[in-house]
Structure 1
Amino acid sequence: MIRRPNRRTLLRTGAAAVLAGAGLSACVPGGDNASGERKPRDQRRRMPAETREHVRTFMAWPPLDSVWGKWAKDVQGDITGIARAIAEFEPVVLLAAPTEAEAARRACGSGVEVIPVPVDDLWMRDTGPTFVLGANGPQGVDFHFNGWGGKQEHTRDARVARAVLDFADVPRVDAPLTAEGGSLEVDGHGTLLVTESSLVNDNRNPGRSRDEIEEALKDLLGATKVIWFKGVRGKDITDYHVDSLARFAEDGVVLLSRPPKDAAPDVWIRAYDQARGVLESSTDARGRKIEIVDLPEPDPAELGSRGHDFLGCYANFSFADGAVIMPRFGDRKADRNAAAIVRAAYPGRKVVQLEINDVAEGGGGIHCATQHQPKA
């Protein structure tokens, strides 16, 4: 992938012992019921595909006292653009520090609801809850965000999942492991894509085996088939989230972010090759062979001055009702090609491309900055 110096990495503040505050929302056990009896998974919770109709999208306003420093206002501009674009299709709720809520309202306009909640940064996909549907309605899984394995201190963001669930009036599921929403990709029919590097990692789940983590994810998300990619450890702050690698299109079809053909071999190309090999030999939860559609990344030579950690990844897009909100990077040919591939993958949806270079400076994208709440 094309990456430039990650502000989240460069400005990290060290390991964080991040503990969520005491209850805002009702809590639902993360594992089996209180009697210890295991419920059949089809009677429990499940994570639907992101293409399902949404109640709303949640986002966060990066505060001026965040790790972005002098770039904070530029990044706020990108967040404004994303929020306004999504609000054309569905409700958007933006969390902002109480002292900055009015500025966020002025920037985003009346189409975006701003609520005063202290936040550390903009990465709502990871700090917010992962919504699932249970037998009795929606629930929100709190995966105990810990600053991507203690790489940064996020004491305010550690409480964001609870604040979101309190606002949405959705019961909280207390997950028995640590993860981030960007590390999870589902097809809505039982198939889950994840990377080992971000989950089977002592910075999040010390001493836990892959099998143990897989069982917990199946219980939490209703998955029946987990496809594991090796990923990359320690090269970006997320330890390589799957939402910058592979995304489901229609059933049995995966969009795979492909590095430029002439790029020199590196850890990202090896990760792509490994993921492609896994998908080529895998079937989904319904037993279908997976079809791979490459989503080529932009040519670094067409992007001007970009550093090592710039996230030039079209796969990090977000859904809104009737639309796909995706990035453009300035490589006109690659931008057009990516939009055409995404448009073909999600027929009937309007494809909206936004320039998000300042957010991309932080090693993230539009998907990273949003968290959707699906309709029951």
Structure 2
Amino acid sequence: MTTACPVAEWARHEAVWIGFPSHPELWLDDLAPARAEVVAFASAVHAHGHGEKVLLVAADGEAASAATRLAPFAEIVVEPFGDIWLRDTGPILLPRKRAGGFAFNGWGGKYDLPGDDTIARRLAEGRGRHFAAHHWVLEGGAIDGDGTGTVITTEQCLLNPNRNPGMSKAEIESLLASDLGFTRVVWLGEGLLNDHTDGHVDNLARFVGEGRVAIPEAAENDPNWQVYQHARRDAEASGLEVVTIPSPGRVLRDDEIVPASYMNFYIGNAAVVVPVYGAANDDAAVAAVQALFPTRKAVGLRADSILTGGGSFHCISQQIPG
């Protein structure tokens, strides 16, 4: 039987898992503000009951108590994990109540945290999904599909020797087909500068319709201007329609360039939540996303503290299709 590919993110969701910051030793002074940003994101997705059910995933009792207090609208799920990046460590949901899980090696051996390699199975089986374990390394943020069988990814990540050493492009395409049902792989090149995920595509390019992909338009003094140019070239050469969203440009934290991106938005039932950073293009980016999703409300929310951990709203969430 041919595996049916994941539905597009804009399809109806039954619920969404969102990771809740749970480990003070990882977040330090950013723990409380990161929790506040996560709760604001979860609230926007819930949309006073007009969006989808929010499942806040807490790693322990203390975090669960804090989540209950801060987000009374959410259902709290207590499952041990290393950190909140459930897009990468959680299951990938498939049609017919199935879920796929993949080997996880801490983004190429960078962050080996207890629980991250088993959270996918525990979450999937907790929602009554038939779970299939696949024994090659793949993070959910490394791929983005349009629901028709087409998936985009970056060579920097999926061909990185710190993931599946020795595996060829053809072999990875074959596994994406057999395990997730993707029939066409569009390869982009590099991801954002200083992205410790080694170029996850959900910071660079996102499907916003069937065969239609959004890519940033470089801002002045943008450290990723060539990355965006090359991504657009590759996407258009593959026959995809490209639309652009402004880039936040050069965003610094402690004098270091960080991989801030408006592309890490989450497409919910009622809202599309866009991370913003106090950059000049924040409002323009939210307006551009609103134009792409006219039946949903585009909401811009600050994600500065979450970004200290390396990601944003899309990275901490994993939707459950309805």
Q: TM-score, normalised by structure 2?
A: 0.93
Match of 1:270 among 204, 226, 229: 226
Check if 1:107 corresponds to 2:66. no
Q: Which has the higher strand share?
A: 2
Query: Counterpart in 1 of 2:258?
Result: 310
Match of 1:214 among 173, 188, 203: 173
- Percent identical across equivalent pairs? 34
- Gap regions ≥5 residues in structure 2: none
Deviation at 1:299, TM superposition (A): 4.5
| Contact 2:191–2:204 (8 Å) recurs in 1 | no
Partners of 2:81 and 2:281 lie apart in 1 by 35
| Contact 1:130–1:142 (8 Å) recurs in 2 | yes
Change in Cα spacing, 1:160 to 1:297, as seen in structure 2 (3 Å) is same
Partners of 2:191 and 2:235 lie apart in 1 by 17
Partners of 2:134 and 2:162 lie apart in 1 by 16
Q: TM-score, normalised by structure 1?
A: 0.80
Query: Counterpart in 2 of 1:84?
Result: 43
Which residue identity does 2:178 align to in structure 1? D
Runs (4+) of structure 1 moved beyond 6 Å? none
Pairs within 5 Å for 1:63-82: 63-82=22-41
Number of residue equivalences: 318
- Gap regions ≥5 residues in structure 1: 1-38, 284-289
Change in Cα spacing, 1:318 to 1:234, as seen in structure 2 (3 Å) is closer
Instruction: For CA contacts below 8 A with separation 6 or more, give which structure has more relative contact order.
Output: 1
Partners of 1:146 and 1:304 lie apart in 2 by 28
- Give the match's secondary structure for 2:136: coil
- Give the match's secondary structure for 1:131: strand
Query: Counterpart in 2 of 1:341?
Result: 288
Higher Rg of the two aligned structures: 1
Change in Cα spacing, 1:76 to 1:167, as seen in structure 2 (3 Å) is same
Deviation at 1:69, TM superposition (A): 2.4
Query: Counterpart in 2 of 1:353?
Result: 300
Deviation at 1:309, TM superposition (A): 4.1
Partners of 1:67 and 1:85 lie apart in 2 by 25
Change in Cα spacing, 1:245 to 1:232, as seen in structure 2 (3 Å) is closer
Deviation at 1:65, TM superposition (A): 3.7
Match of 1:292 among 242, 246, 263: 242
- Give the match's secondary structure for 1:158: coil
Deviation at 1:57, TM superposition (A): 0.4
Query: Counterpart in 2 of 1:48?
Result: 7
Which residue identity does 1:325 align to in structure 2? V
Which residue identity does 2:304 align to in structure 1? N
Partners of 2:304 and 2:101 lie apart in 1 by 29
Which residue identity does 1:204 align to in structure 2? R
1:183-228 Cα distance to aligned partner (Å, 9 max, x none): 1110101110001111112211122111101110012222111000
- Give the match's secondary structure for 2:156: helix
Q: Pairwise CA RMSD of aligned residues?
A: 1.9
Check if 1:321 corresponds to 2:269. yes
Which residue identity does 1:330 align to in structure 2? G
Partners of 2:288 and 2:134 lie apart in 1 by 36
Check if 1:119 corresponds to 2:67. no
1:33-53 Cα distance to aligned partner (Å, 9 max, x none): xxxxxx4x3xx2211100000
Partners of 2:148 and 2:253 lie apart in 1 by 42
